[in-house]
Structure 1
Amino acid sequence: MRVLIFGASGMVGQGILLECLRAVDVAEVVSVGRSPLPQKHPKLKEILLPNLFDIATVTDDLSNFDAVFFPLGVSSFRMSEADYRYITYDLAMKIASLVARQSPQATFCYVSGRGTDINSRTMWSRVKGELEEALLRLPFADAFMFRPGAIRPMDGIKTKTPLYNAIYLLFSPIVPLLARLFPAQITTTREVGKAMLAVARKGYPSPILEPIDIRRAAGVSI
């Protein structure tokens, strides 16, 4: 299987990347991103693109993929709706539309967020809801929208936000207990990566995966 990842340098993207590199049935992983990744691997090929809106400049590198994973995203904190829509909706659709033409046989997996709702009054939720519906209409072989809630970083992965790292460190001793008490609320970077590979291989009954679906797809007993 050939896998294409956008946003592999982020917390969720790192988890997905690690699971792809571990998977015996993944022959090649191509990462498209703005900056170099910390790890090197025989399976891994990097395409550096400082401005991802210039995705058309690497069109020839986007063909013949079996799976496309898109954990790329930004926080809506202190952003106007116009700016957030541009970075979230416009960028994702520009990339995904091109990849759908180059690799129509691929399964596309987008990392959205728990609470996404096209009818929501909350700006980020509504924008991501519109994006989910638009992505599901693209001519991929299949597409799935992942809506993780709280995500526990594994394998030494850290976020790019120091405050979040401090919060994870503070609550890390009780997170395993919280995951058992609230299985529908908490996932891990490892589970998200395993779940994406699982749905790329054999699909899933629903195109929308909430946290409990992500855990089930990853093989976790609920």
Structure 2
Amino acid sequence: MGKPRDKNNVIITGTTGMVGEGVLIRCLDSSEIDSVLVINRKPCGYAHPKLKEIIHQDFFDFTPIENQLLGYNACFFCLGITSVGASKETYYKMTYTLTIHIAETLSKLNKDMTFCYVSGSGTNPEGRLNWQKVKGKTENDLMKLPFEQVFNFRPGFIKPVENQKFAHKFYKYINWLFPIGRMISADGFCTMLELGDAMINSLSHNNKRKVLEGKDIIELANEPT
């Protein structure tokens, strides 16, 4: 059973990347979201009446901006790096250490917060590959923090919103694969709008700790509000 909606004030990280930008676009368009705060090292290039942006360089130290992070009831965490070409040490620092540091800070400041973490299809703390283990450990430790709710999203192929600024260029050459892949395996294919809607709809739940695979993301996106 869902909780009554109050004001939904959302923090989004990673909006200069494809996933974060797509989630931002959906939140700005949604009547369910009242205000959005984005935290970036460089401007995201968007302007909107309900959007505020903080430019902050050191994501391992939010102390200087903590007073600006109060009063938010959700964080859609879309920040991350690829494991391709990264050393194990760098990947661990930028995936696990950075995520947990920001999450600990936000859980301390906002006790009623829902934390949505974009992990990835194939994440497995007992997996064979290093990235699977690191993301799995990140998911597990996020669910131990004193948030009201934690949702770990594991999308596979994500179809971008049309005309996204930060979508990977190769998507325009492979988007034709999406309907075929969706028919074969919905678990591995969702749209950016579905991912954004699923995050927004997660705010109407009560005290959840959950991992969402592709089909779960699509189901939550289509849940009535």
Task: For residue 96 of structure 1, give the secondary structure of its aligned residue in structure 2.
Answer: helix
Alignment of 1:16 with 2:6, yes or no, is no
Structure 2 contact 14–20 (Cα < 8 Å) conserved = yes
Contact 2:10–2:76 (8 Å) recurs in 1:
yes
Which residue of the partner structure matches residue 83 of structure 1? 90
Does structure 2 retain, via aligned residues, the 8 Å contact 1:5–1:29? yes
Residue 35 of structure 1: aligned partner = 42
State the 1:111 CA deviation. Answer: 0.2
Residues 1:156 and 2:160 are matched in the alignment = no
- Mapped to 2, the partners of 1:203 and 1:73 lie a distance apart of 27
Gaps of 5+ in 2: 1-7
| CA–CA distance in structure 2, aligned partners of residues 119 and 69 of structure 1 | 25
2:149 to 142, 147, 154: 142
Q: Give me the whole-angstrom Cα distance separating, in 2, the residues matched to 1:158 and 1:21.
A: 15
Give the CA deviation at 1:116: 0.6
1:189 aligns with 2:196: no
Q: For the residues of structure 1 that align with 2:115 and 2:68, how far apart are their CA atoms?
A: 16
Deviations 1:160-208 (A, max 9, x none): 6xxx422x22222342233233212101111110100001222597600
CA–CA distance in structure 1, aligned partners of residues 52 and 136 of structure 2: 32
Q: Which residue of 1 aligns with 2:129?
A: 122
Gap change, CA 1:206 and 1:105, over 3 Å in 2: closer
Q: Where does residue 77 of structure 2 map in the other structure?
A: 70
Whole-angstrom CA distance in 1 between matches of 2:97 and 2:176? 39
Question: Residue 203 of structure 2: SS of its match in structure 1?
Answer: helix
The answer for the alignment partner of 2:99 in structure 1 is 92
Q: Tell me which stretches of 4 or more aligned residues in structure 1 moved more than 4 Å.
A: 203-206
3-state SS, counterpart of residue 187 of structure 2: coil
CA distance in 1, matches of 2:54, 2:26: 19
Question: Are positions 1:165 and 2:130 aligned together?
Answer: no
CA distance in 2, matches of 1:131, 1:204: 19
Looking at structure 1, the residues matched to 129 and 32 of structure 2 have their Cα atoms a distance apart, in angstroms, of: 40
Paired residue total: 216
Q: Give me the whole-angstrom Cα distance separating, in 2, the residues matched to 1:154 and 1:203.
A: 29
Cα distance between partner residues in 2 of 1:185 and 1:121:
20
Q: Is there any run of 5+ residues in structure 1 with no aligned partner, and where?
A: none
TM-score scaled to structure 2, two decimals?
Answer: 0.91
C-alpha deviation, 1:10, in angstroms: 1.0
Instruction: Measure the CA separation in 2 of the matches of 1:124 and 1:142.
Output: 24
Rate the CA distance shift 1:174–1:115 in 2: closer, same or farther, 3 A.
Answer: closer
2:150 and 2:209 in contact (8 A); partners too: no
Q: Is structure 2 residue 59 aligned with structure 1 residue 52?
A: yes
Q: Which residue type is aligned with residue 169 of structure 2?
A: N
Q: Does 1:216 align with 2:222?
A: no
Amino acid paired to 1:207: K
Residue 201 of structure 1 corresponds to: 204
Equivalent position SS for 1:9: coil
User: Post-superposition shift, 1:127?
Assistant: 0.5
Q: Which residue of 2 aligns with 1:104?
A: 111
How far, CA to CA, are the matches of 1:158 and 1:124 in structure 2?
A: 27
